[in-house]
Structure 1
């Protein structure tokens, strides 16, 4: 839905001081339009820390967008450096969600294992993106069953105040599908409600232990 996204991008560009989440969305649109240089320019304030972010995982997503843009421009070294930086940012809390949501899955697949300082996390992320399980990442809490990539996508929206219909709109899913995923998430995490599910997920490192 590039045309629809482009209309939203125009509103973002009109913002005097856009937050990092908006700039990352703008960069994603430019990437989808085949404008990698513009994508890098849009996301630069997120990467250098001058744009504020609401969520810790935004900068990880931004690095993955940058990696895709550099790959399209033929700069493999810069592309791999962005992947490595994304992994470094995700490592402290063993974040998985931003990699599920961000583009560049094929770049993670080919990222050199011998050259990364985050081989274990990278292996876990790639396994999940291939359809494997999001099992215990922190060693502190046990999951009753693995979360699927689709469930991880929905899980990432649970810390915010969006309703099920609003989450469905963000992910372009039916409300029934979102509610089904939420029910499965609660069951697998052993949670009784949304707040408890978020807290358990942070203990596991799926969302990060702190929120911005």
Structure 2
């Protein structure tokens, strides 16, 4: 997250502010800098640092604190925006492409969305809202065939002697299906009886 109104720098920007090359920065200043200045939360690729904290460190002053309260203008990664919206990061990216959320802005080689955009996405009226984080419903959904229960009931009646044996031809006529489909219905009904 990049807090609202607080510019961020990657390691190249940090070295540039110090007035040295990146190699020199890493060799002579990198270890002390990383011990003193923590990266912005959620910034993994690239690792970003608050510019005000970088400047304070370079001047040898105490580091200013990051804002404690969230602001609607905070810039969030796709994962952070998805966590607020209650969907996956890929859904945020897909919505941006399809115009269901703002396209975000390109900064430091990746796309960022405002907290306000993520909250608006979370408050969108219920329709298909995308996959929820941690969803495991990747298997195809199958509807329960009501005919199977009806055939099972008829098979029970035939077993009890209350009717003649159930035949595939009879079921094919009753449900207006092929004989093979009727045989499948009988097979499924027998399987449910066995359970």
Give TM-score scaled by structure 2 length.
Answer: 0.22
Compare CA radii of gyration and give the structure with the larger one: 2
**Normalized per residue, which structure has more helix?**
1
Give TM-score scaled by structure 1 length.
Answer: 0.20
